[in-house]
Amino acid sequence: MTTMHDRDCDPQQVLAGGGEMGALMRAMDWSKTPVGPVETWPQSLRTVLSILLISEQPMFLWWGEELIQFYNDSYMRVVAGRKHPAALGQRGAECWKEAWHLCGPLIDTVFAGGATYVNKGLVHIDRDGFLEECYFSYGFTPVRDETGRVAGVFVVTSETTGHVIGERRLALLRQLSLRTALDRHVADVFCSVEAMLAPSLDLSFALIYEVRDGIAMLVTCAGLARGTAAAPTELTLDDHSRWPIGNVVRSGQEALVEDLDARFGALHDDAWPEPVTRALVLPLTQDAGGSTRTVLVAGLSPCLALNGEYHNFIQLLSRQIADSLSSTLAREQEQQRAAKLAELDRAKTAFFSNVSHEFRTPLTLILGPLADALADREDPLSANQRERFEMARRNSLRLQKLVNTLLVFSRIEAGRVAAHYQPMDLSAVTADLASAFRSLVETA
């Protein structure tokens, strides 16, 4: 016959449910841990564990003076990582050595009778073989035993890493777009990229090389000192000892470099505790012939895995830089073309002005003798000669008027004269224009 006492001592009953973690807890020999066998556990511990095991929210419990750990399936999937399953029943300070400088003071607050809550707090934890940049919202709540003494710390948490990093990346892309949109020259874009990426938490460093005549010249350097081993001011495309720029230029494909420590020694990023060991080299823009003209070297954060989201962000960033460079270059070339056209227009205006002045002198010398011949009373012209002389005079006057008009228009284009309009007899002007062709019509 099974008594109530037997059920209270049976791990299958005390730790009922809970999926994978419930099964692990029931199978574990708790007598070999500081919390002792299940039958000695106080009711307060059993009650908290019954809540923890059935909850879909990631929950965690530190119990006793040595802070022995319990957690549920949701916590296992979100937080524990490679620490699981050894983390179950392990001492907290031993399991979370990398984050204990944060957890320790919060736990002390709880054991003093208080409670804490952190919203989207940064925690570096080793759950995949490296110190990962993680963000969590979590609350630490005291758990009291039957005597009223604080015996444990109950933690309810939710990971916000994706949300925090996603917002940060979107903000960077937006700010970079706004800043480069105001740039008038390609050199300004390079400076803007350098200024925006220098404090970036997603890239440990960023270099942009411009390729000309087989030489890669450093035009943007954020996060590293120019001229150092990792940021040489120029590279030949055959030099692969530092960056594989030549391979990227020839293939048009990105390249992942994973041995930065061997190439350059330890590269430390002040923002993160670990040295930078990886970088992604990507093509940015192409010249008119389709060859890669600029290349981005992106130093990867040592605290982030190069997963799909991180890779997509770097590609988005590179495309945005490339678009800014291309649009600014097109605008710069258009401005240069406009300046050349304006210079040609000024040259044309100067030419017309000079030509007009040069034409006026010989026309004056022609018109003078024609007028004298037509006005001569002592040796008058015959009727036929007078008609020819009058036609020559009219055509010369018309040419003089055309020259004067060219001079006026050249002054207008140069901004040295203001136009004054007046009525005119259109029929008289038309008749005068037609008379120039009268002799040609009559002799045809």
User: For 104-147, how does the pLDDT look when each residue is reduced to its tens digit (9 = 90+)?
Assistant: 999 999 999 899 999 999 999 998 888 999 999 999 999 999 99
Enter the tokens of residue 352.
Answer: 């017309």
**Secondary structure, 3-state, 150-177:** EEEEEEEEEECHHHHHHHHHHHHHHHHH
- pLDDT at residue 288 in the model: 67
pLDDT class for 227, splitting at 50, 70, 90? very high
Out of 87-91, 163-167, 184-188, which region has the weakest mean confidence (pLDDT)?
Answer: 184-188
- pLDDT at residue 355 in the model: 61
Q: Which residue has the higher pLDDT, 9 or 396?
A: 396
Residues 144-176: tens digit of each pLDDT: 999 999 999 999 999 999 999 999 999 999 999
CB 124 within 8 A of CB 98: yes
What are the distances in angstroms from CA 266 to CA 229, 235, 302, 403? 11, 21, 12, 78
CA angle 80, 84, 86 (to 5 degrees): 130
DSSP per position, 315-362: HHHHHHHHHHHHHHHHHHHHHHHHHHHHHHHHHHHHHHHHHHHHHHHH
Mean residue pLDDT of the chain comes to: 86
Enter the tokens of residue 424.
Answer: 């005119």
- The Cα–Cα gap between 93 and 153 comes to 13
pLDDT class for 36, splitting at 50, 70, 90? very high
Burial class (CB in 10 A: 0-12, 13-18, 19+), 132: buried
Q: How many CA atoms are closer than 13 Å to the CA of 227, on its beta-carbon side?
A: 0
- pLDDT at residue 30 in the model: 93
Task: Assess whether pLDDT exceeds 50 at residue 7.
Answer: no
Mean per-residue pLDDT, 79-100: 90
Backbone angles phi, psi at 302, to 5 degrees: -70, -10
Distance of CA 8 to the CA centre of its chain: 61
Give long-range contacts, CB 8 A cutoff, 24+ apart: 230-234. Answer: 230/205, 230/260, 230/263, 230/264, 230/267, 231/205, 231/207
- pLDDT at residue 1 in the model: 39
Tokens 């070339």 -> residue: 333
Domains of the chain in start order, with CATH, are 4-159 (3.30.450.20), 165-334 (3.30.450.40), 341-443 (1.10.287)
Q: Which residue has the higher pLDDT, 205 or 415?
A: 205
Mean per-residue pLDDT, 284-302: 86
Enter the tokens of residue 333.
Answer: 């070339």
Q: Model-level pTM? A: 0.74
